[in-house]
């Protein structure tokens, strides 16, 4: 992604921060007298949650596995592996966390890739929406799409729906102006929104188009970053500063 981040926040330094946080959680909780296994699981949990920062699956895996692997190497060398006495169910904790972060229902659609902050700047002039209208980001991740929408449409009410509850929690903290809920975007009713925005995958677009046609009111918009609806001419195509396109489809008048 081309979204600007200071050098120290970029890969691979971002992985270093996540590993340090995981180790910090482990050491800190040990200093607070937490027993070894819960402290170790806390370190793993911090790594798994921190891995949401990365934008590719491989990087996420590297971030999430850094703490347990470095632990294993260190304690294995000392002959005192923490895993030796850990109950079998202990492995379920990181697994449950990973599933909470990336629920299977979202695997067919996109994993977490954020919309760049300035991607929609100026869109409001090209595609005006009613004052105090309602805009929904379906699969709102950690809120970057909502933050970009807020810059483009400062006067509308923003809503987000996200399947992963940890991402939904982070989104609620970041996009404080928006009404964010946990849920499946396909089960959510789109009919009350003036615009439904999504940044998913090419495979998602036919289903999104069918839902938009069935539910959006005349004059409302379906907006998709990067991926067009196959075989449908967009009403407007918008060029983002990074060269990608936002494809916009307005529902015809009834």
Ligand X SMILES: C[S@@+](CC[C@H](N)C(=O)[O-])C[C@H]1O[C@@H](n2cnc3c(N)ncnc32)[C@H](O)[C@@H]1O
- Give the footprint of ligand X on this chain (CB under 6 A): 105-106, 109-115, 137, 139-141, 144-145, 161-164, 167, 184-186, 199-200
Cβ at position 130, least distance to ligand X in Å = 22
Distance CA 228, CA 103 (A): 25
Distance CA 228, CA 254 (A): 23
Distance CA 91, CA 210 (A): 41
Nearer to ligand X, 38 or 103 (CB): 103
Cβ at position 253, least distance to ligand X in Å = 28
Q: Using CB atoms within 10 A of its CB, is residue 34 exposed (0-12), middle (13-18) or buried (19+)? A: middle
Q: Which residue is nearest to ligand X (CB)?
A: 139
Cβ at position 231, least distance to ligand X in Å = 23
Dihedral in degrees, nearest 10, Cα atoms 18, 2, 173, 102: -60
Assigned token pair, 199: 């940044």
Nearer to ligand X, 42 or 225 (CB): 225
Nearer to ligand X, 153 or 199 (CB): 199
Cβ at position 79, least distance to ligand X in Å = 41
Task: Give SS3 for 248.
Answer: strand
Length of the chain: 254
Nearer to ligand X, 73 or 105 (CB): 105
Nearer to ligand X, 76 or 154 (CB): 154
Nearer to ligand X, 25 or 54 (CB): 54
Assigned token pair, 251: 């529902």
Cβ at position 229, least distance to ligand X in Å = 17
User: Beta partners for 161?
Assistant: 138, 181
Q: Which residue, 237, 185, 184, is CA-closest to 212? A: 185
- From the CA atom positions of the chain, what is the Rg in Å? 21
Cβ at position 33, least distance to ligand X in Å = 37
Backbone φ/ψ region at 195: left (φ over 0), alpha (ψ -120 to 50), beta = beta
Distance CA 237, CA 224 (A): 10
Cβ at position 172, least distance to ligand X in Å = 13
Nearer to ligand X, 31 or 58 (CB): 58
């Amino acid at each position: 992604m081309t979204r600007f981040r200071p050098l120290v926040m970029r890969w691979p330094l971002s992985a270093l921060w996540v590993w340090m946080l995981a180790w910090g959680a482990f050491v800190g909780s040990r200093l607070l007298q937490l027993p070894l296994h819960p402290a170790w699981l806390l370190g793993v949990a911090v790594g798994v949650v921190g891995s949401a920062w990365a934008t590719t699956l491989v990087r996420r895996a590297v971030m999430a596995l850094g703490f347990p692997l470095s632990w294993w190497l260190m304690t294995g060398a000392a002959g005192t592996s923490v895993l030796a006495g850990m109950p079998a169910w202990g492995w379920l904790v990181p697994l449950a966390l990973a599933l909470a972060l990336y629920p299977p229902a979202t695997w067919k659609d996109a994993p977490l890739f954020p919309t760049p902050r300035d991607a929609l700047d100026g869109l409001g002039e090209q595609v005006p929406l009613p004052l105090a209208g309602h805009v929904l980001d379906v699969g709102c991740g950690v809120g970057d799409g909502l933050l970009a929408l807020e810059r483009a449409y400062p006067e509308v009410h923003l809503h987000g729906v996200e399947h992963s509850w940890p991402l939904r929690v982070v989104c609620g903290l970041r996009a404080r102006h928006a009404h964010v809920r946990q849920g499946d975007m396909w089960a959510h009713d789109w009919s009350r929104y003036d615009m439904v925005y999504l940044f998913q995958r090419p495979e998602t677009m036919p289903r999104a188009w069918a839902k938009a046609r069935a539910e959006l009111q005349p004059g409302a918009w379906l907006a998709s970053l990067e991926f067009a609806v196959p075989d449908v001419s967009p009403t407007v195509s918008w060029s983002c500063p990074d060269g990608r396109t936002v494809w916009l489809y307005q529902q015809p008048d009834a």
